[in-house]
């Protein structure tokens, strides 16, 4: 660095440049300390996340008071949800693992728009389109039970149709599920809904 500083002309602009360089060094050091503190804070938050203490602020990387899908994916990847749900440790979730891993989302109650304890074809049409109901009503009783709703959500989140959910599909699906107003970002209330219980 000294060589490059020697090459600078020593006129007024050179002096101004040197002054700016020397004045910026303390600011640079402070920024490095802040960054190091931030890294430590993230490491601590990762520990607290594993204890089910999820912080919106920790996941809101750009500090805009919303969590975008990329921020959600980053935060989600630091958690243990997928690993805990993947009982056979094959890095995919089958339907049973998916059902157990997403219990906290209470998928059936979310699809039951009129809260009558049944998920009928009109409620399914509002969530997944008209033609999906027959496909998912396995017992053909005219309503979807909890297992059928979970199978339907599994089907929707399985974007590559390989009958298994990988970590990215789980994060994208979970984000989409929480994004109640479909604005491609999560406000605090939407985010918190996914990590209660």
Burial 26-45 (b: 16+ CB within 10 A, else e): eeeeeeeeeeeeeeeeeeeb
**Which residues, in sequence order, are CB contacts of 143 under 8 Å at separation 6+?**
118, 119, 120, 137
Q: What is the pLDDT of residues 32-78, one digit of tens each?
A: 343 333 333 343 444 434 444 678 999 999 999 999 999 999 998 88
Residue with tokens 């430590």: 40
What residues are paired with 119 via a beta bridge? 144
Under DSSP, the state recorded for 93 is B
Tokens of 154: 């599994």
* Better pLDDT: 39 or 83: 83
Q: What is the pLDDT of residues 160-197, one digit of tens each?
A: 999 999 999 999 999 999 998 999 999 999 998 887 65
Tokens of 32: 């490095």
Residue 197 has what pLDDT?
Answer: 54
Report the distance separating Cα 86 and Cα 84, nearest Å.
Answer: 6
């Amino acid at each position: 660095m000294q060589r490059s500083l020697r090459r600078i002309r020593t006129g007024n602009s050179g002096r101004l440049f040197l002054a700016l360089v020397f004045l910026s060094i303390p600011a640079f050091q402070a920024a490095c300390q802040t960054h190091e503190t931030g890294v430590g804070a993230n490491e601590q938050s990762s520990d607290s996340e594993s204890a089910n203490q999820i912080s919106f602020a920790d996941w809101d990387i750009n500090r805009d008071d919303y969590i975008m899908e990329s921020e959600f994916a980053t935060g989600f990847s630091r958690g243990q949800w997928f690993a805990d749900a993947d009982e056979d440790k094959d890095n995919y979730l089958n339907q049973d693992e998916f059902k157990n891993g997403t219990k906290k989302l209470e998928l059936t109650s979310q699809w039951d728009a009129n809260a009558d304890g049944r998920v009928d074809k009109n409620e399914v049409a509002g969530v997944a389109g008209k033609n999906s109901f027959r496909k998912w009503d396995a017992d053909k009783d005219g309503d979807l039970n909890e297992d059928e709703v979970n199978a339907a959500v599994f089907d929707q989140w399985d974007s590559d149709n390989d009958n298994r959910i990988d970590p990215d599909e789980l994060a994208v699906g979970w984000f989409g599920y929480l994004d109640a107003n479909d604005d491609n970002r999560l406000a605090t209330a939407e985010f918190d809904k996914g990590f209660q219980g």
